[in-house]
Protein backbone atom coordinates (compact mmCIF):
# COMPACT_ATOMS: atom_id res chain seq x y z
CA UNK A 1 0.00 0.00 0.00
CA UNK A 2 1.28 3.45 -0.90
CA UNK A 3 1.81 6.04 1.83
CA UNK A 4 0.63 9.64 1.50
CA UNK A 5 4.25 10.83 1.19
CA UNK A 6 4.92 8.30 -1.60
CA UNK A 7 1.80 9.51 -3.41
CA UNK A 8 2.85 13.17 -3.12
CA UNK A 9 6.33 12.30 -4.37
CA UNK A 10 4.83 10.33 -7.29
CA UNK A 11 2.68 13.35 -8.21
CA UNK A 12 5.66 15.69 -7.95
CA UNK A 13 7.74 13.46 -10.24
CA UNK A 14 4.87 13.23 -12.74
CA UNK A 15 3.79 16.86 -12.45
CA UNK A 16 4.38 17.69 -16.13
CA UNK A 17 2.41 14.66 -17.30
CA UNK A 18 -0.46 15.49 -14.94
CA UNK A 19 -0.53 19.12 -16.10
CA UNK A 20 -0.45 18.05 -19.75
CA UNK A 21 -3.81 16.31 -19.31
CA UNK A 22 -5.38 19.55 -18.06
CA UNK A 23 -3.72 21.57 -20.84
CA UNK A 24 -5.37 19.23 -23.37
CA UNK A 25 -8.81 19.50 -21.75
CA UNK A 26 -8.61 16.05 -20.19
CA UNK A 27 -8.61 14.81 -16.63
CA UNK A 28 -5.76 12.66 -15.29
CA UNK A 29 -6.63 9.54 -13.35
CA UNK A 30 -4.60 7.15 -11.23
CA UNK A 31 -4.86 3.63 -12.65
CA UNK A 32 -3.72 0.33 -11.18
CA UNK A 33 -1.84 -1.74 -13.75
CA UNK A 34 -3.09 -4.88 -12.02
CA UNK A 35 -6.56 -4.18 -10.57
CA UNK A 36 -6.20 -7.16 -8.24
CA UNK A 37 -3.32 -5.48 -6.38
CA UNK A 38 -3.24 -2.42 -4.11
CA UNK A 39 -2.19 1.05 -5.17
CA UNK A 40 1.60 0.96 -4.98
CA UNK A 41 4.39 2.74 -6.86
CA UNK A 42 5.07 -0.29 -9.04
CA UNK A 43 1.36 -0.84 -9.80
CA UNK A 44 0.15 2.61 -10.87
CA UNK A 45 0.12 4.79 -13.94
CA UNK A 46 -1.54 8.06 -14.90
CA UNK A 47 -4.06 7.80 -17.73
CA UNK A 48 -7.03 9.78 -19.03
CA UNK A 49 -10.04 9.57 -16.70
CA UNK A 50 -12.41 8.53 -19.52
CA UNK A 51 -10.08 5.69 -20.50
CA UNK A 52 -9.81 4.56 -16.90
CA UNK A 53 -13.58 4.46 -16.63
CA UNK A 54 -14.02 2.57 -19.92
CA UNK A 55 -11.35 -0.06 -19.42
CA UNK A 56 -12.97 -1.55 -16.32
CA UNK A 57 -16.26 -2.05 -18.14
CA UNK A 58 -14.96 -3.77 -21.26
CA UNK A 59 -13.74 -7.29 -22.03
CA UNK A 60 -10.12 -8.10 -21.19
CA UNK A 61 -8.95 -7.95 -24.80
CA UNK A 62 -10.36 -4.43 -25.23
CA UNK A 63 -8.84 -3.34 -21.90
CA UNK A 64 -5.44 -4.49 -23.14
CA UNK A 65 -5.87 -2.61 -26.43
CA UNK A 66 -6.90 0.59 -24.65
CA UNK A 67 -3.99 0.31 -22.20
CA UNK A 68 -1.53 -0.38 -25.04
CA UNK A 69 -2.78 2.69 -26.91
CA UNK A 70 -2.44 4.86 -23.82
CA UNK A 71 1.05 3.53 -23.12
CA UNK A 72 2.16 4.07 -26.70
CA UNK A 73 0.93 7.67 -26.40
CA UNK A 74 -0.03 7.64 -30.04
CA UNK A 75 -3.23 8.94 -31.58
CA UNK A 76 -5.77 6.13 -31.51
CA UNK A 77 -9.53 6.28 -31.90
CA UNK A 78 -12.20 4.44 -29.96
CA UNK A 79 -15.71 3.85 -31.26
CA UNK A 80 -17.91 3.25 -28.18
CA UNK A 81 -21.51 2.07 -27.90
CA UNK A 82 -22.73 0.73 -24.54
CA UNK A 83 -20.37 -2.19 -23.73
CA UNK A 84 -18.98 -2.37 -27.27
CA UNK A 85 -15.61 -0.72 -27.96
CA UNK A 86 -13.67 -0.84 -31.23
CA UNK A 87 -10.09 0.44 -31.27
CA UNK A 88 -8.68 1.97 -34.47
CA UNK A 89 -4.98 2.68 -35.03
CA UNK A 90 -5.65 5.99 -36.76
CA UNK A 91 -8.30 8.44 -37.86
CA UNK A 92 -7.81 7.18 -41.42
CA UNK A 93 -8.58 3.63 -40.37
CA UNK A 94 -11.82 4.79 -38.70
CA UNK A 95 -12.75 6.87 -41.77
CA UNK A 96 -12.32 3.81 -43.98
CA UNK A 97 -14.41 1.71 -41.59
CA UNK A 98 -17.23 4.29 -41.44
CA UNK A 99 -16.83 5.23 -45.12
CA UNK A 100 -16.72 8.96 -44.33
CA UNK A 101 -14.13 11.69 -44.99
CA UNK A 102 -11.67 12.97 -42.39
CA UNK A 103 -13.39 16.36 -42.60
CA UNK A 104 -16.75 14.85 -41.62
CA UNK A 105 -15.15 12.72 -38.90
CA UNK A 106 -13.37 15.79 -37.51
CA UNK A 107 -16.72 17.57 -37.16
CA UNK A 108 -18.16 14.64 -35.20
CA UNK A 109 -15.12 14.59 -32.89
CA UNK A 110 -14.87 18.36 -32.46
CA UNK A 111 -18.57 18.76 -31.66
CA UNK A 112 -18.88 15.58 -29.57
CA UNK A 113 -21.58 14.23 -31.89
CA UNK A 114 -22.33 10.51 -31.86
CA UNK A 115 -22.14 8.63 -35.17
CA UNK A 116 -24.99 6.10 -35.51
CA UNK A 117 -25.14 5.88 -31.72
CA UNK A 118 -21.37 5.47 -31.33
CA UNK A 119 -19.30 7.92 -29.29
CA UNK A 120 -15.96 8.70 -30.93
CA UNK A 121 -13.05 9.14 -28.51
CA UNK A 122 -9.53 10.13 -29.62
CA UNK A 123 -6.78 8.96 -27.26
CA UNK A 124 -3.06 9.63 -27.23
CA UNK A 125 -1.10 12.45 -28.83
CA UNK A 126 -2.79 14.83 -31.20
- pLDDT tens figures, 44-62: 888 888 888 776 666 666 6
Residue 32 has pLDDT above 80, yes or no: yes
pLDDT digits (tens, 9 = 90+) for 104-120: 888 888 888 888 888 88
SS3 84: strand
C-alpha dihedral (32, 78, 61, 117), degrees to nearest 10: 110
Q: Say which CATH class 57-126 falls into.
A: mainly alpha
Which stretch of DSSP H or E encloses residue 78?
A: strand 76-81
Domain ranges of the chain: 1-47, 57-126
Q: Are 28 and 46 in contact (CB under 8 A)?
A: yes
Task: Determine if the pTM surpasses 0.75.
Answer: no
Amino acid sequence: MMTKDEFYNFCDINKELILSFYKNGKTPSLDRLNPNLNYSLDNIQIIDFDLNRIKDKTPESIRKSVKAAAEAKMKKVLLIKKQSVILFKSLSELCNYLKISKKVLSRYIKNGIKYNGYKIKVIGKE
